[in-house]
Amino acid sequence: MKLRKVSAAAATALVLTLTATACGGDGDSEGGSGSGGGDKIKIGIKYDQPGLGLKEPGGKFSGFDVDVATYVAKELGYDAGQIEFVETKSADRENALARGDVKMIAATYSITDERKEKVDFAGPYLLAHQDLLIKADSNISKGTDLNGKNLCSVTGSTSAQNVKESIAPKANLKQYSGYSECIAALQSGAVDAVTTDDSILAGFAAQSQYKGKFKLAGLKLSNENYGIGVKKGDTEALNKINTALEKMVKDGAWDKAVQDNFGPANYKNEPAPKTGNIVK
Ligand code: GLU
């Protein structure tokens, strides 16, 4: 009985607090900054890359790209609740921006000259390197070992392109639409290796169901400078995003995002890149 009384009082107090907050909120936004109000911002991410861009079973989004995108959106005037994350697979990214499906893309999106003909990039905000994920007992140890082997990568990725053009043109390359499908193929034995950025592969290797089963070859087969893609010509967004990225590095949020997301995978990342500094 006594308990009930307490909860009733607590409930009344809560209602009063909520009412007060709601009134305060209304007042604030009326005199507001005009920074978006109830608007949403659509941001393209990956949905299947643990540690980078992942839609968790409960619907929560996690990963380094998600944290970078959330920080940048905040600087652009959008709270986390105003973000709508949209899945942008590797092969869809340029089109998603051109069509205006999303305002920006933070999806392990490497800055390349070819892509720059179609979209603009802010950043870079991370430097990764192409590597191989192989079974723990595999003796593949260099790129050319892949010639004649079954290899998996993703359509529209720099990883698949590099394999065909230079790393192992004679590999039997299967291309899927997402890396999670490649990982399943590695587990079943359908392929001998998966190739993409070490940052992505480390995230998969650290998943509890794969512990001890896979290893990274540890090869730096390329430089992948991650940028935030925007529609070609959207200079206003580009400049604001670059300013936000610089602030994120300066105030320590970039380091925190690295620790939170790459720490569990034991991924040794490169230091924060400087805006505009592309490592070829
Ligand atoms: N960073 C590379 C790329 O942009 C590989 C990862 C990906 O496919 O997202 O193509």
**What is 10-54 written as a DSSP string?**
HHHHHHHHHHHHHHHHHHHHHT---S-TT--EEEEE-SEETTTEE
DSSP state letter for 204 = H
Give the domain CATH number at 255.
3.40.190.10
Q: Which residue's CA lies nearest to atom 8 of ligand 1?
A: 157
Mean pLDDT value across residues 142-158: 97
Pick 220 or 13 by higher pLDDT. Answer: 220
Q: In the chain, what's the furthest Cα-to-Cα distance? A: 78
Is residue 240 domain-resident?
yes
Asked whether 179 lines ligand 1 (CB < 6 A), one says no
Strand arrangement of the beta sheet that strand 193-197 belongs to: 172-176, 150-154, 193-197, 130-135, 214-216
**Phi and psi dihedrals of 263, rounded to 5?**
-55, -55
Report the separation in Å between the CA atom of 59 and the middle of ligand 1, taken as the mean of its atom positions: 23
87 and 163 together in one domain: no
Report the separation in Å between the CA atom of 200 and the middle of ligand 1, taken as the mean of its atom positions: 9
pLDDT for residue 236 is more than 90: yes
> What's the pLDDT at 257?
98
> What's the pLDDT at 93?
98
Mean pLDDT value across residues 159-185: 98
Is residue 280 domain-resident?
no
Alpha-carbon span 278 to 39, nearest angstrom? 33
Instruction: Write out pLDDT tens, residues 79-119.
Output: 999 999 999 999 999 999 999 999 999 999 999 999 999 99
Category of 252 on φ-ψ map: left (φ > 0), alpha (ψ -120 to 50) or beta? left
Q: What is the H or E stretch that residue 260 is in?
A: helix 253-262
> What's the pLDDT at 37?
56
Report the separation in Å between the CA atom of 10 and the middle of ligand 1, taken as the mean of its atom positions: 51
Asked whether 49 lines ligand 1 (CB < 6 A), one says no
> What's the pLDDT at 2?
43
95 and 116 together in one domain: yes
204 and 231 together in one domain: no
Overall number of domains in the chain: 2
168 and 231 together in one domain: no
Alpha-carbon span 102 to 206, nearest angstrom? 30
152 and 229 together in one domain: no
152 and 77 together in one domain: no
Category of 154 on φ-ψ map: left (φ > 0), alpha (ψ -120 to 50) or beta? beta
Is residue 108 domain-resident?
yes
Average pLDDT, the chain: 90
Instruction: Write out pLDDT tens, residues 61-87.
Output: 999 999 999 999 999 999 999 999 999
- Could you tell me the residue range of the domain that residue 110 belongs to? 41-128+224-265
48 and 118 together in one domain: yes
